[in-house]
A = this chain, B = another copy of it.
Amino acid sequence: MVKVFDCPKSLTDMPTHYCPGCTHGIIHRLIAEVIDELGIADKAVGVAPVGCAVLAYNYFVCDMQEAAHGRAPAVATGIKRVVPEGVVFTYQGDGDLASIGCAEIVHAAARGELITTVFVNNGIYGMTGGQMAPTTLPGDKTSTSPYGRDTKKQGFPIRVSEMLATLDGPAYIARVSVHNVANIVKAKRAIKKAFEYQIAGKGFTLVEVLSTCPTNWGLTPKESLEKVQRDMMPYFPLGDYKDIEAGEKK
């Protein structure tokens, strides 16, 4: 018998604290698989955000730092400058990265900082109980947009990948999704490419992953995956937004 699929070595045994069906867990696994495949567990340093993934430092078998809310790219910059031979990644939610940490991610990208960011876009503040995120879709109800996000007063969702792709510092920026198996496979490919580009010193890399929050969306895990495809993907189209090896496209 041959192993077709097994738990990656770069994940610890500790069960995660994520809610049932939350796709944070899938994304964690993909990162761990990539770390395994690239054989970089012993030189990877991860940076956990403040968000539902705040305990991510418990789940990866590599050195980790827990950053202040939104500041993971700055923390990662500090680490990478000290350990240039290390492989440094941040794992950040949409509140963390696109709201409070907006300046940090823009500037890490503009600096072409040699780090990889996995950006988990679930359109909500999961950890704090379902408040509006910068990526919450127009009309969606959250605990701070109880009447539905009104673009007149609360503005429009930010398309982070498109925005960062206007900069010269990034080497690779892609938006992927984990709402079905085919996309999970693609998502892993993107994350792997991002890490490879970092290792090759090509520039800043970011993979935006459309993710779910069944708990705060008030949907079952399955319905949540459907919402990603039905509602999120039209607003946040999947694709490579920047690939210095391939030229820009979209």
Binding site for B on A (CB under 8 A): 99-103, 106-107, 110-113, 134, 151-152, 154-159, 162-163, 165-169
Contact = CB atoms under 8 A, between A and B. Distances in A.
Contact of A166 (B103, B111, B154, B159): B159
A134 B155 contact: no
A26 to B, nearest CB: 28
A204 to B, nearest CB: 9
Nearest to A204: B155
A38 to B, nearest CB: 23
Given A102-B102, A151-B168, A158-B167, 7 more contacts: A100-B103, A106-B106, A112-B151, A112-B152, A155-B169, A159-B166, A166-B166
A82 B220 CA distance: 41
Nearest to A81: B153
Contact of A155 (B102, B111, B151, B163): B111
Contacts of A162: 166
